[in-house]
Chains A and B, each alone.
Chain A
Amino acid sequence: MIVLGIETSCDETSAAVVRDGMLLSNVTNTQVIHSQYGGVVPEIASRSHEENIQTIVESALSASKYSLMDIDAIAVTYGPGLFGTLLVGLNYAKGLSIGLDIPFIGVNHMEGHLFANLLDNPEFSYPFLCMLVSGGHTQIWEVQQYGSYHRIANTRDDAAGEAFDKGARIMGLRYPGGPEIEKNAMGGNPKAFPFTIPRVRGSELDFSFSGLKTAILYTCKKMTESEIQSNLNDLCASYQEVIVDTLIDRIHKAVEITGIRRFSVAGGVAANKRFREKVDKIVKPRSIEVSFPRMEYCTDNAAMIAIAGYERILNGETSSLNLKAIPNLSLDEVHSV
């Protein structure tokens, strides 16, 4: 069975082709524009999905060596996300479904993230925990088995990736802030500035990063411009350290609370080298298995939508043409597809 996956929930327009659960291609607008413009990315976010979707789907098909006529089903994100951008993908999928007379299945974007890990690591078994840590989300999910998801932690305010970005802005660094902080943290002393791991009242697992913005802001306010510059390595190292330590702390607590010793990590912050280093040094020696999917599957992509949709279709599910885009779709509603 060949499934075409489509994802347009926020910034990325992405399409992927999966055959019998094996990924054949995965194309996102970022990659295509990258190659067209020789590495310079011009205002990706301003490009609309309508302009991109046809090209992206054609690229994904051609990379998979199949044509539209070979597709057996379509999997498409129907939430959560932006209503306007979700509609582009959903309506495109419905159009293809009618035109080709094949079924389509609406996929919950968050379910996609939970299964991104299976793309690289089909042996990864249930139950497992999944930490999704990006600019928009910082959550931990407990996955007992296929279709059974329980969110055990969420951020109360800002996501970890947002904390990186806004902290970087406060220190005068460029966007995106995560890689900038990581670069400037090299050689810095992570204990130079005493930022503390934020606690959340009434929850051992939830995250809160908005207080860190105030902390870094007032640390910088007490310094002159040139003091900030000469202490930049230490500032970045300390700020990065407290974010990373918060994530590590919650991984340990989640393992302790659930008794599940298998973890996958998804989202853009999974690229942070200090985070990976500390996972290797501190988490893995405690006999906790941690798996990082390849970065292209960590961020928003259609491969994870195609694979999650494939599983649902195998399960005998399809969506009806009156399926609506649901911007605040929760994963608990996933069964009502």
Chain B
Amino acid sequence: MKSGWTNCITSSPEETFEKGKQFARFIETGDIFALSGQLASGKTTFIKGIANGLGYKGEVTSPTFTLINEYHSIPEIIHLDCYRETNLNRWINLGINEYFNTDSIVFIEWPEVIKALLPDRTITILLSHIEENKRKININI
């Protein structure tokens, strides 16, 4: 990803979405993002904003149950969620490694489960609660 992004605090889901849209400008093909943060910290909302900023106008919904959502845009966006499936072997069986070697932009929610499989170049985004509507968004490259 390109440099220049500064960490921020948002005060509503709408603002988290807007920040995601702005964040999209720093993304490069093949980037992999691991999004960590507690329940309701805004991970999906931030990704919705990013996808929108990347030009994808379709629906972005939580992949908690579907496990992997693929959004057809150029480049393709892969939206993973390891919240429900905590078995590393199942992720390997699903061919998760193949998503890491393409031009696709990959977002992983609850990435802790598959930490061992993530390439070194993975960028961590940490979302945290400050208060009911405030969220902190930090990027660690």
Q: Which of B39, B68, B84 contacts A217 (CB 8 A)?
A: B39
| B86-127 interface (Cβ within 8 A of A) | 87, 89-90, 93-95
Q: Which of B39, B61, B84, B93 contacts A48 (CB 8 A)?
A: B93
CA distance A43 to B64 in the complex (A): 17
Residues of A within 8 A of B90 (CB): 45-46, 48
Cβ proximity bits B35-51 to A, threshold 8 Å, 1 near / 0 not: 00001100011001000
| A130-189 interface (Cβ within 8 A of B) | 134-136, 154-159, 161-162, 165-166, 169-170
B70: Cβ under 8 A from any A Cβ: yes
A46 touches B87 (CB 8 A): yes
B65 touches A134 (CB 8 A): yes
B62 touches A157 (CB 8 A): yes
A214 touches B132 (CB 8 A): yes
A161 touches B62 (CB 8 A): no
Interface residues on B, range: 20 to 34
Q: How far is the CB of B131 from chain A (nearest CB, A)?
A: 8
A22: Cβ under 8 A from any B Cβ: no
B39 touches A83 (CB 8 A): no
Tally of A interface residues using CB under 8 Å: 33
Q: Which of A45, A85, A135 contacts B64 (CB 8 A)?
A: A135
CA distance A45 to B64 in the complex (A): 14
Residues of B within 8 A of A218 (CB): 132
B40 touches A213 (CB 8 A): yes
Q: How many residue pairs at the A-B interface have CB separations less than 8 Å?
A: 82
Residues of B within 8 A of A134 (CB): 65
CA distance A140 to B39 in the complex (A): 27
Instruction: Decide: A217 near B40, CB < 8 A? Known: A157-B62, A159-B62, A328-B71.
Output: yes
B27: Cβ under 8 A from any A Cβ: no
Minimum CB distance partner of A88 in chain B? B93
Residues of B within 8 A of A158 (CB): 44, 61-62, 64
Minimum CB distance partner of A169 in chain B? B39
Instruction: Decide: A210 near B40, CB < 8 A? Known: A10-B67, A157-B62.
Output: yes
Q: Can you list 30 contacts pairing A with B, beta carbon distance less than 8 Å?
A: A10-B67, A45-B87, A45-B90, A46-B87, A46-B89, A46-B90, A48-B90, A83-B68, A83-B70, A83-B95, A84-B94, A135-B64, A155-B61, A157-B62, A158-B61, A158-B64, A159-B61, A162-B62, A162-B64, A162-B65, A170-B39, A210-B40, A210-B45, A213-B39, A214-B132, A214-B133, A217-B40, A327-B68, A327-B70, A328-B72
List the interface of chain B (C-beta within 8 A of A). Answer: 13, 39-40, 44-45, 48, 59, 61-62, 64-72, 84-85, 87, 89-90, 93-95, 132-133
List the interface of chain A (C-beta within 8 A of B). Answer: 10, 43, 45-46, 48, 81-85, 134-136, 154-159, 161-162, 165-166, 169-170, 210-211, 213-214, 217-218, 327-328
